[in-house]
Amino acid sequence: MPVARPELSDARVIAHVDMDCFYVQVEQRKQPELRGLPTAVVQYNSWKGGGLIAVSYEARKYGVKRSMRGDEAKEVCPQIHLVQVPVARGKADLNLYRNAGSEVVSILARKGRCERASIDEVYLDLTDAAKTMLSENPPEMLEAVDDEVLKSHVLGPDEDERKEVENVREWFCRSSAEHRDKLLACGAIIVADLRMQVLKETQFTCSAGIAHNKMLAKLASGMNKPAQQTVVPFSSVEGLLASLPIKKMKQLGGKLGNSLQSDLGVNTVGDLLQFPVEKLQERYGINTGTWLWNIARGISGDEVEGRILPKSHGCGKNFPGPQALRKITSVQRWLNDLCEELSERLQSDLDQNKRVAHTLTLHARAYKSNDSDSQRKFPSKSCPLRYGTAKIQEDALKLFNSALCDFLGSHRGETQGNPNSGWGVTALSVSASKILAAPPGTASILRFFHSCEPSSSSSEQNFSEIIPDSVPLSPSGSLSCSELNQAGPQKRSSAEETQINCGSSTLNRDDQKRKSSNYKGGCSILGYLQGSKPSCSSSKYEGAEIAQEALPVPPSEHNPGRPLKRSPEEENRVSQPSLDHNLQRREMWTYKVDEIDPSVIDELPPEIQEEVRGWLRPPKRANPVKRGSSITNYYLPSRKM
Ligand code: DCP
């Protein structure tokens, strides 16, 4: 549901940057001989040449569209090159594209707060950078304006005139312009510079929209593609929205847009202007009504969240038509593969970014044979995420069984005798969400376990005890489906079974104590700190439990005091633990860091030493924002984009 937020300031400078035919560009970088040729990337499923998921602009000229299959594309453009997405574990492997997206994000994030909105698009808040530029190096004082800037499209009543380079230059350099337009001009110069850096460093082109808020910037970025940018001055907003079809607006493509069209006769966003806010609120509720009233005026207070890492990780696969999975064993085989991939990605997120995911969710699409109620949805199920591939696989299967139970509903009786009949799964996915900063030492502890434990499975076991299971389960299936649950390879103890199936929100404490008593080796930081020897003998349970409490609890229905959405400040705190955060953690650990004898630290394994020293050191001050540098340094000579 859209959320109405008042405009924060009409002098913000926000950019939306969207890569052009992204997967195609990634493939063309790998195979440069494809550059400039009609090319498309097709999905793994090769039926009728595979479904197109990305189409180059050269191929679009021939009428090739994303909705086509490879065979259709060849009909309209026989010379098209079809490249298949990489495959791993029998499904599309998107790592190549994800990593390419990360390369771009790391460049775009250089000039301001950056939010990675999808695999190939980001929002930037360039307000501070634009203000700095305006005060130190205003456009009207520039000796030369970069060609890339002069290729900008500046929306407004005189846009046609502005197609002339001289007119665009005049708009950028007007000394009489309003302050907010001058800021936008600076923002557009910065974005042109960033886009050129992206091209130079990655060989990828992108397009951008520059406006006073996210909504307008997003609308503008798609207006002139590929490799161009569009600026929306404040004075042009009304004209832009007056003719904008309602369905083009994000969040109005579905039922809400249909209702606006059929019930209120609204066809363009501008048509909404005629309705008083009370009428919209009465019809669609306070929040949505206010949001509609706002968007008609180009008002949107959504902030750019400082987030360059994904909010969640997911792996999925479709099983269309005859490929539908009809047996628990087939589902389990695919779930194992999906969970293995998910586990690898979680591990690399932990290693590279020191982040821990807290919730595992299973989604599926399924049908019931012999059932008129075929529209019934397969429910999604969540549970606390336990690290380690085997644990994720085990929990995912439990979630599937529980969901299948709900899905089968009244047919349960028939299928309990044979859980492998009467249904088919056409899509399966697992995802990990509620990703937060790992408590200090988590990554080191895992590495340490890997070096001191005889087998990796036991290190996984211990690691699960350190990563807390603090996220509540969503309502799950009933216990009467135990036959289905038995289909898994490893059977849980009845206590664990109850936990999964009854929606308990935390680890069973006795269970945890029992597990912790098996905790081998001198493997807790606290253990090291409490004695100078690498031994956990007296504190092994304590260490594991306290570390669990030290982790920030994610917002949940059991924790209603916390807002669901974090403020940017909170986000920063989570992604970069601050001194305050460390102080809080120290208190939770009931251990006074100031009292640690530094000589004890020297006896810790090197990786852990470094992290403990980090707690003792005051945090470094953030680097001051660099001044906007001259765009001429970055311009690529005569590159055709
Ligand atoms: N993608 C996908 N399946 C879809 C849509 C997109 O796998 N149904 C992938 C392929 C795209 C990438 O995501 O290259 C980005 O999607 P966009 O919608 O941004 O489209 P493109 O970047 O391909 O083209 P454009 O230049 O129109 O943005």
Q: What is the pTM of this model?
A: 0.67
Q: Report residue 387 as tokens.
A: 């690290």
HSE of 410, CA atoms in CB hemisphere, 13 A? 5
Q: What is the pLDDT of residue 188?
A: 97
Do residues 13 and 210 lie in contact, with contact meaning Cβ atoms separated by under 8 Å? yes
Q: Say whether pLDDT at 561 is over 50.
A: no
Q: Report residue 182 as tokens.
A: 């001058």
Q: Say whether pLDDT at 181 is over 90.
A: yes
Task: Give the residue whose CA is nearest to atom 9 of ligand 1.
Answer: 53
Q: What is the pLDDT of residue 416?
A: 52
Higher-confidence residue: 511 or 393? 393
Q: Report residue 353 as tokens.
A: 């970014």
Cα 227 to averaged position of ligand 1 atoms, centre (Å): 15
Inter-CA distances, 280 with 56, 155, 258, 274, 626, Å: 41, 29, 15, 10, 45
- Residue 168 and residue 156: Cα distance in Å, rounded? 12
Give the DSSP H or E segment for 81.
strand 81-84
Residues at CB less than 6 angstroms from ligand 1 = 18-23, 53-54, 119-120, 225-226
Q: Which of 27, 58, 115, 121 is catalytic?
A: 121
pLDDT digits (tens, 9 = 90+) for 410-440: 655 544 556 566 899 999 999 999 999 988 7
The residue type found at 462 is N
Q: What is the pLDDT of residue 310?
A: 87
Task: Look up 497 and say whether it is catalytic.
Answer: no
Q: Which of 16, 18, 20, 22 to mutate to test the pocket of ligand 1 (most atoms within 8 A of CB)?
A: 22
Instruction: Kindly write down the DSSP assignment for every residue of 37-59, as one continuous string.
Output: S-EEEE-S--GGG-BEEEE-HHH
Which ligand 1 atom is at minimum distance from the Cα of 121? 19
Nearest to 40 by CA among 25, 32, 273: 25
- Residue 552 and residue 99: Cα distance in Å, rounded? 28
Instruction: Kindly write down the DSSP assignment for every residue of 301-326, as one continuous string.
Output: -PPPP-B-S-S-EEEEEE--GGG-B-
Instruction: Kindly write down the DSSP assignment for every residue of 342-397, as one continuous string.
Output: HHHHHHHHHHHH-EEEEEEEEEEEEEETT-S-TTPPPPPEEEE--SSHHHHHHHHH
Do residues 207 and 229 lie in contact, with contact meaning Cβ atoms separated by under 8 Å? yes
Cα 69 to averaged position of ligand 1 atoms, centre (Å): 15
Which ligand 1 atom is at minimum distance from the Cα of 24? 14
Contacts of 20 (CB under 8 A, 6+ apart): 57, 204, 205, 206, 207, 225, 226, 227
In 222-315, which residue ranges form alpha helices assigned H by DSSP? Answer: 237-242, 255-264, 277-284, 286-296
pLDDT band at 163 (very low <50, low <70, confident <90, very high): low
